[in-house]
Amino acid sequence: MDTQKLQGKLRTNILDMHFRANSGHIGCSLSCIDIMISILKFKERGDTFILSKGHAATALYTIMNEIGEIPDEAMATFYKDATTLPAHPAALKYNAIPFATGSLGHGLPLGTGIAKAKKIKKDAGTSYVLMSDGETNEGTTWEAGHFAVVHKLDNLVVFIDKNGLQGFGNTADILGDTASRNRWEAIGFEVAEVDGHSISAMLGAKQQMVDNKNGKPKLIIANTVKGKGINYMENKMEWHYLPMTEAQYEDAKSKINTDYNL
């Protein structure tokens, strides 16, 4: 399957899951699904991945299902009682989901610890972390960033899903642009900025980062659109929270079918 079709298919899966569950967090998953495809569909031996923005769980579940880490039967139980797939990832359910996230600011310390452990053991592979831009408000994110720099964790590659929106406003208006290139470069990260919906651009940046063993931890700022692919959701804060009506769901699916050539 070409990558555009995969981007469309996984978006459709996300819409299906949210519609069946009548649940929110749709915009957050559509914002970062392309980043997750770039990391997980092209995973190499020894790579680990932490979704720090745990509220984008449907994006995580659908790509994990795509790569065979979560079975179809489990997918059908999303958001239901007695599921292994709650609205934020659960602990100790799937090997490919090493940490239960959902409270923001946990992923970078965890991914930093994994990268440090790999260095001590001289293990191959990259520790990937996907954060939201809102998460760069968290003090722990900066604590971990400084730790990663001092420990020269060039096997840590962090993606920021920079859609410019957080829980109750624009990130720039709330604590300033804490996900900006200059702030992260200032503490010692190597930073690239890419289109967060272009798989080829992200794969290129990722490969360059992984290959560059210069002793610096890496950050890829992926510029994204919240709700990407569904025009009435795009760049709208409310689609952090809202479920879809049936008419909205049908409309969204047909847009995806057209735009992604399904």
Partner 1 sequence: MRKHFSAYIEKLAGEEDIIFVTGDLGYNALENLASKMGNRFINAGVAEQNMIGVAAGMASQGFRVICYSIAPFIVYRSLEQIRNDVCFHDLPVYLVGNGGGYGYGIMGSSHHAIEDIGTLSGLPNMHCYIPAFIEDMNTCMEEMFTSRKPSYFRLGLGKNMPATLTPQSYGAATAENPDAQLTIITQGPVANNLLAAWKEHAHKDKTELFVLNKMPLTSLPEAVSESIQRTKKILVIEEHISIGGIASAVSLLVNENSLPIDKFISLHAQGYPNALYGSQGYHQHISGLDEENISRIINTYF
Q: Interface residues with partner 1 (CB under 8 A)?
A: 91-92, 98-101, 103, 106, 108-118, 120-121, 123, 127, 139-140, 143-144, 146-147, 151
- Rounded Cα distance between 178 and 221, Å, is 12
Judge residue 168's burial from the number of C-beta atoms within 10 Å of its C-beta, 0-12 exposed, 13-18 middle, 19 or more buried.
exposed
Decide whether 1 or 117 has the Cβ nearer to partner 1.
Answer: 117
Minimum distance of partner 1 from residue 9's CB (angstroms): 31
Decide whether 87 or 203 has the Cβ nearer to partner 1.
Answer: 87
Torsion angles phi and psi, residue 6, rounded to 5: -65, -40
Minimum distance of partner 1 from residue 179's CB (angstroms): 18
Decide whether 113 or 243 has the Cβ nearer to partner 1.
Answer: 113
Minimum distance of partner 1 from residue 10's CB (angstroms): 27
Minimum distance of partner 1 from residue 99's CB (angstroms): 7
Minimum distance of partner 1 from residue 215's CB (angstroms): 15
Q: Residue 45 region, left (φ>0) first, then alpha (ψ -120 to 50), else beta?
A: beta
Q: Which amino acid is at 138?
A: E
- Rounded Cα distance between 37 and 65, Å, is 12
Decide whether 120 or 247 has the Cβ nearer to partner 1.
Answer: 120
Decide whether 138 or 161 has the Cβ nearer to partner 1.
Answer: 138
Half-sphere exposure of 145 toward its Cβ, with a 13 Å CA cutoff? 26
Residue reference for tokens 């957050």: 28
